[in-house]
Structure 1
Amino acid sequence: MTSFQVDTNGYYGQFGGAYIPEMLYPNVEELRNRYLDIIHEPGFQQEFRALLRDYVGRPTPLYFARRLSERYNSRIFLKREDLCHTGAHKVNNTIGQILLARRLGKQRIIAETGAGQHGVATATVCALMGMECIVYMGARDIERQAPNVARMKMLGARVEPALSGSQTLKDATNEAIRDWINNPIDTHYIIGSVVGPHPYPDMVARFQSVISEEIRAQLKETTGSELPTKVIACVGGGSNAAGTFFHFLDEPSVELIAVEAAGEGVLSGHSAATTQLGKDGILHGSRSLVMQTNDGQVLEAHSISAGLDYPGIGPLHAHLYKSGRGRYLNATDQEALVAAFDLARMEGIIPALESSHALAGLGQLELSPSDTVVLCLSGRGDKDMQAYMTYMESK
């Protein structure tokens, strides 16, 4: 039987591993050798669970979306990660990693961010724990996600612009890795998605797995069964999807559906649909599917959503796609905008542009009344109001 958990060498099938500069070897090895022991300590789990409950506001609701269900002639539940403290699922991971960093004796935290949600979540936990925080963010993303930049600064973080390449998430990650190479002793890098060298993809997935853990319990209470027929989430690097899928990976009756950003169209040259356009390659420390030229140069991704604007995908997702366990759809900028306004006007919920891609995926499925669908609403739309207002003005 195909395994969907990481193996001892840090691989999901053929994807994963740790392809890192020699300077980072001690840091990554320390993490690899200690992360599972630390995470499984009763004291760690007690502190982690208490903060998720009392600080983050978990469990997040599993909301039956009545009008959306009527439209698609099925039962659709929204997992309300948008109601987490800071406005997205990202804080589940940053709480876990800051507790880990503290146990490793690190005093300085760095992070990368695209939409700014991971940056805000990192700045939040650094403020909570009294640690120094530096967030790298593409200069272009700083412009289009100004509210989140202001939040990070108010929380005490230093926001460093990435001025190279497309000035988006890929470039911010490059800058964060450079910083880590220069400060290997006192610094922990809180990676925000299921990307990077092993053990990050597994570690982040474990911290985010609280999403699917709660879904199973909440569905049991609501419907009598722990298992939906389909779970849906948007994918850039893929952390909210990894968390939503985690406790269903070995349940073959549950269809796992991920929705990538097609940008202006998969073949337009302005897209981030990695499973459709990517080839095997190495990006930011792991082997995965990467959008690249024939000679291996990483291509620039495009999405209206800063959080999905990434030319790779986490190795777990590459494995789910290649093995056929996961179904990977895509939605254009325009389709995501339409889906956002549909949810706002049908259910009174304004979603993040990232989550809107998952919502746009609903229209690509053949749904029936016997389907129970859980869609991860990974974040709220406050940060995207400028894009939404521009769209309204264009109508």
Structure 2
Amino acid sequence: MSSYLKTTPNSEGFFGEYGGAQLPPPLEPHFTEIRETYEKISKLSDFIRDLRYIRKHFQGRPTPVSHLKNLSNLTGGAQIYAKREDLNHTGAHKLNHCMGEGLLAKFMGKKKLMAETGAGQHGVALATAAAYFGMDCEIHMGEIDIAKEAPNVTRMKLLGAKVVPVGFGGRSLKEAVDSCFESYMSQADKALFAIGSVVGPHPFPMIVRDFQHVIGIEAREQFLDMTGDLPDIVAACVGGGSNAMGIFSGFIDDANVALYGVEPMGTSSKLGEHAATIAFGEDGDIHGFRTMVLKDANGDPAPVHTVASGLDYPGIGPEHAHLYRTGKANYTSANDRESLNAFYAMSRHEGIIPALESAHALAFAIRAAPKNPGKSILINLSGRGDKDIDYVTETFGFGED
């Protein structure tokens, strides 16, 4: 790993001012066990060998980098490239950490994997890992997201997972996390709560980033091989921020590579109509860690909206808050309409249907390319859009001809 990755977070799980572990006393020994086991086995040759075998022979890694020639020509300016995590088994980057967490659970002697999910990609990936390792699986998902992401709900059930609908509050990702934590409290002896992003109490922001680091390792080597140079700009969508930390980690020590996290601006900048935490949030606590949070008038996590279910979270990974505060990464946004236009454009002009989450990063690239002639932009195409096609076409149509 690079010097930054070796020294961050600190031993208490803090990325500068953000992170840590705020846990109810009954869960403290379980998270200590997770941390100590991970720190031990992540250096074991047997664990590393098994993980490498899974990545190559089950996930189909490495995933390629593709030059988006048609969109580059249409947009003008910079050349746009995409790291193709949509070609990872199950169709998104999520399997990178789910197989790692499943292997961790196996080494710990756990019998069950549990998680929250928004867009359903983490739920599908964890259900896949549970099937692979012969474990039970329990997935908590907001009722709004269940309706939007029906194909992924079907996939989870086919893979043997129990899908728990969450019907309180905003009925989306935040509430799914709340529900899963509550269920986990009584099952922690036999289950691992495989948190689905670089969020949650320490050590999960570190664990998920480390398992997603494979994206950055591959992308850096592939881009150098394709072009002879590093990209000028690396961009990824950010909800919790796992796919972004995955690709950022490959370039985080390169002063000449600008990192951009793209948040969902939803339908407007009005509170409750977006999920742009860096843009409008403030320091606070959520789900057992310190980060930046979108807050309502009472100081509680605010309701959020985005067309992309995987991004509708009122907080952000603590490492992203740290990268923003220290200036090591830049954060911008794309709204629903821009992202939908990017979704249609990539489908029509590249033959690739992107996930709505990934379309936020693509929208940024399309917007930034004309302003950066002679440069290169590498986005993380974090997932494929199969899960979104029914929702998009039934709600918004097929786009303009």
TM-score by length of 1: 0.97
Query: Which one of 265, 269, 279 corresponds to residue 266 of structure 1?
Result: 269
How far is 1:268 from its partner?
5.5
How far is 1:180 from its partner?
1.4
Determine the C-alpha separation between the residues in 2 that align with 1:385 and 1:364: 23
How far is 1:20 from its partner?
1.0
Bigger shift: residues 321-330 or 64-73:
64-73
Query: Which one of 72, 77, 81 corresponds to residue 76 of structure 2?
Result: 72
Determine the C-alpha separation between the residues in 1 that align with 2:85 and 2:174: 24
Report the equivalent of 1:27. 30
Determine the C-alpha separation between the residues in 2 that align with 1:222 and 1:250: 21
Report the equivalent of 1:281. 284
Determine the C-alpha separation between the residues in 2 that align with 1:46 and 1:101: 16
Determine the C-alpha separation between the residues in 1 that align with 2:313 and 2:170: 10
Cα-to-partner distance string for 1:222-276 (whole Å, 9 max, x where unaligned): 1123x21110000000000000101211212110001011111123531100011
How far is 1:45 from its partner?
0.8
State whether residues 4 and 316 of structure 1, in contact with CA within 8 Å, keep that contact through their aligned partners in structure 2.
no
Matched, 1:121 2:125: yes
Tell me the SS of whatever aligns to 1:196: coil
Aligned in 2, Cα 1:74/1:174: closer, same or farther, shift over 3 Å?
A: same
How far is 1:184 from its partner?
1.8
Tell me the SS of whatever aligns to 2:116: strand
State whether residues 4 and 12 of structure 1, in contact with CA within 8 Å, keep that contact through their aligned partners in structure 2.
no
Matched, 1:255 2:258: yes
State whether residues 73 and 367 of structure 1, in contact with CA within 8 Å, keep that contact through their aligned partners in structure 2.
yes
Determine the C-alpha separation between the residues in 2 that align with 1:294 and 1:325: 31
CA RMSD of the aligned region, Å?
1.6
Amino acid at match of 1:315: P
Determine the C-alpha separation between the residues in 2 that align with 1:4 and 1:245: 16
Determine the C-alpha separation between the residues in 1 that align with 2:234 and 2:376: 9
Report the equivalent of 2:48. 45
State whether residues 344 and 399 of structure 2, in contact with CA within 8 Å, keep that contact through their aligned partners in structure 1.
no
Cα-to-partner distance string for 1:107-152 (whole Å, 9 max, x where unaligned): 1111110000000000001011110000000011111111100000
Determine the C-alpha separation between the residues in 2 that align with 1:98 and 1:312: 25
Equivalence map 1:41-190=2 (5 Å): 41-70=44-73, 71-190=75-194
Where structure 2 has 5 or more consecutive residues not aligned to the other structure, the ranges are none
Bigger shift: residues 340-349 or 293-302:
293-302
Identity of aligned residues (%): 45
State whether residues 197 and 240 of structure 2, in contact with CA within 8 Å, keep that contact through their aligned partners in structure 1.
yes
Determine the C-alpha separation between the residues in 2 that align with 1:263 and 1:4: 35
Determine the C-alpha separation between the residues in 2 that align with 1:393 and 1:379: 20
Between the two proteins, the alignment pairs up a number of residues equal to: 394
Matched, 1:243 2:252: no
How far is 1:324 from its partner?
1.5
How far is 1:295 from its partner?
3.3
Determine the C-alpha separation between the residues in 1 that align with 2:39 and 2:376: 34
Determine the C-alpha separation between the residues in 2 that align with 1:97 and 1:188: 8
Tell me the SS of whatever aligns to 2:292: strand
Cα-to-partner distance string for 1:341-392 (whole Å, 9 max, x where unaligned): 1111111111000000111112442643431211100000100012321312
Aligned in 2, Cα 1:32/1:268: closer, same or farther, shift over 3 Å?
A: closer
Determine the C-alpha separation between the residues in 2 that align with 1:354 and 1:368: 24
Cα-to-partner distance string for 1:308-364 (whole Å, 9 max, x where unaligned): 011010000011111121111111111110011111111111100000011111244
State whether residues 23 and 184 of structure 1, in contact with CA within 8 Å, keep that contact through their aligned partners in structure 2.
no
Aligned in 2, Cα 1:23/1:105: closer, same or farther, shift over 3 Å?
A: same
State whether residues 140 and 167 of structure 1, in contact with CA within 8 Å, keep that contact through their aligned partners in structure 2.
yes
Determine the C-alpha separation between the residues in 1 that align with 2:389 and 2:31: 38
Determine the C-alpha separation between the residues in 1 that align with 2:94 and 2:202: 19
State whether residues 77 and 374 of structure 2, in contact with CA within 8 Å, keep that contact through their aligned partners in structure 1.
no
Cα-to-partner distance string for 1:280-305 (whole Å, 9 max, x where unaligned): 11111110001112432111111111
State whether residues 274 and 311 of structure 1, in contact with CA within 8 Å, keep that contact through their aligned partners in structure 2.
yes
Determine the C-alpha separation between the residues in 1 that align with 2:76 and 2:211: 32
Determine the C-alpha separation between the residues in 1 that align with 2:90 and 2:58: 10
Equivalence map 1:169-248=2 (5 Å): 169-225=173-229, 227-248=230-251
Tell me the SS of whatever aligns to 1:213: helix
Determine the C-alpha separation between the residues in 1 that align with 2:132 and 2:36: 27
State whether residues 120 and 153 of structure 2, in contact with CA within 8 Å, keep that contact through their aligned partners in structure 1.
yes
How far is 1:34 from its partner?
2.3
Tell me the SS of whatever aligns to 2:243: helix
Where structure 1 has 5 or more consecutive residues not aligned to the other structure, the ranges are none
State whether residues 136 and 172 of structure 1, in contact with CA within 8 Å, keep that contact through their aligned partners in structure 2.
yes
Query: Which one of 10, 14, 30 corresponds to residue 11 of structure 1?
Result: 14
Determine the C-alpha separation between the residues in 2 that align with 1:324 and 1:58: 32
Determine the C-alpha separation between the residues in 2 that align with 1:8 and 1:21: 20
Determine the C-alpha separation between the residues in 2 that align with 1:362 and 1:4: 31
Report the equivalent of 1:295. 298
